[in-house]
Amino acid sequence: GLLPPQGHIVRNWKVRWFVLLQDKLLYYKIEGGKKEPSPKGRILLDGCTITCPCLEYENRPLLIKLKTKTNTDYFLECCSREERDSWALDITGAIHAGHPVQVQELHRMKNSFKLLDNISLHDIVERMYDSSTGIKRTRNLEQGNRYKETFTGSALVDWLISNSFAVSRFEAVTLASMLMDENFIRPVGTRSTEATRSSNLSEKFLDDSTALYMFAENGKKNVSPKEELQFNISELSGKIVKQGFLVKQGHKRKNWKVRRFVLRADPAFLHYYDPTKEENKPVGGFSLRGCLVSALEDNGVPAGVKGNVQGNLFKIITKNDTHYYIQASSKAERTQWIEAIKPLT
């Protein structure tokens, strides 16, 4: 699949096509929307250690860190928490492929719960408040409302695991629910508040990037006009339905570039981001109301499409008759995107 790794010489982020084998990760350069035939590099997994979640970059919470036995660090960025955890589990399985007992233990721990001995919720909260190593609090949106000093459910789960308070996401969710029950943190907004009505402790807290929480003593604070966000709030306030890396043709130069697409509902918008940029702001997007979406046949290049085309094309025509040509990595992925977009048009 497509992942942006960090370069070793120039510390920028460029999207590469990664292939996981039993003992190595190969990565290929994408040129003109097409994967080059020979790998640009490889990461040998023998003796590797993996860190996930990796919180070394504040603005990149979806990183996986691989350290080879020669002490070379690789940082790989995924598109979603689910994709990151799936890659991490598969890579970890490949690292320990020669040790089936360890692989079984990893899968068992994924859904296990065993609270650490002598754990103190007060100590956890004190660590959370730390200005340098604590949980990062930012402005967030929820159904059009703006909140300051909040953190998402998935961010807290990542933080608990990376600080060794929990060894699995299931365990971290249960621990976060305990913090909420003891009134150290509280839900903010509709999604996280509704979840608290669940009778099951592990379901009261949402391991979700759209569920918001804050420290219990903090109240709702509206953002002042000087802190107004630089993009249309209503467009970005919808529920995320699907996200992933796709290759998009530009409107002017007709070149192909990898973009991270985010599909939202209520309101229905499709935004795309440049994964090589540090700031998490869309570089484009459009309303899906009145759009037409369809798959394009792979035999021959349709009119309006330029350059090298790998295949698995689909087209979106907006209500204003703007044509977007997009490539998925497989026919199955193309079908999934089309099926997700159609109900929102």
Q: Would you write out the chain's pLDDT as a tens digit for each of its 345 residues?
A: 888 888 877 778 888 999 999 889 999 998 877 888 899 999 999 889 998 888 888 778 889 999 999 999 999 999 888 888 889 888 988 888 766 555 555 555 554 444 555 567 888 898 999 888 899 888 877 766 778 889 999 999 999 988 888 888 888 888 888 888 778 999 988 888 888 876 565 678 998 888 899 998 754 334 443 333 345 667 788 888 999 989 998 877 778 888 999 999 988 999 998 887 777 788 889 999 999 999 987 555 566 676 666 678 999 999 888 999 999 988 999 999 999 999 999
CA atoms of 64 and 66, how far apart (whole Å): 7
Confidence (pLDDT) at 257? 86
Closest CA to 1 of 269, 329, 225: 329
Cβ burial of 303 (10 Å; 0-12, 13-18, 19+) is exposed
Closest CA to 17 of 9, 37, 7: 37
**In this structure, are residues 5 and 76 in contact, taking their beta carbons and an 8 Å threshold?**
yes
Question: 3-state class of 298 per DSSP?
Answer: coil
Report CA-CA distances (Å) from 188 to 78, 234, 266: 26, 18, 19
Confidence (pLDDT) at 219? 43
What pTM, to 2 d.p., does this model score? 0.66
Q: Determine if the peptide bond prior to 187 is cis (ω within 30°).
A: no
Confidence (pLDDT) at 314? 93
Residue with tokens 């060894």: 167
Closest CA to 125 of 184, 195, 59, 42: 184
Confidence (pLDDT) at 306? 67
**In this structure, are residues 240 and 258 in contact, taking their beta carbons and an 8 Å threshold?**
no
CA atoms of 326 and 311, how far apart (whole Å): 10
Confidence (pLDDT) at 290? 92
- For the chain, list the domains and their CATH numbers: 16-111 (2.30.29.30), 121-215 (1.10.10.10), 236-342 (2.30.29.30)
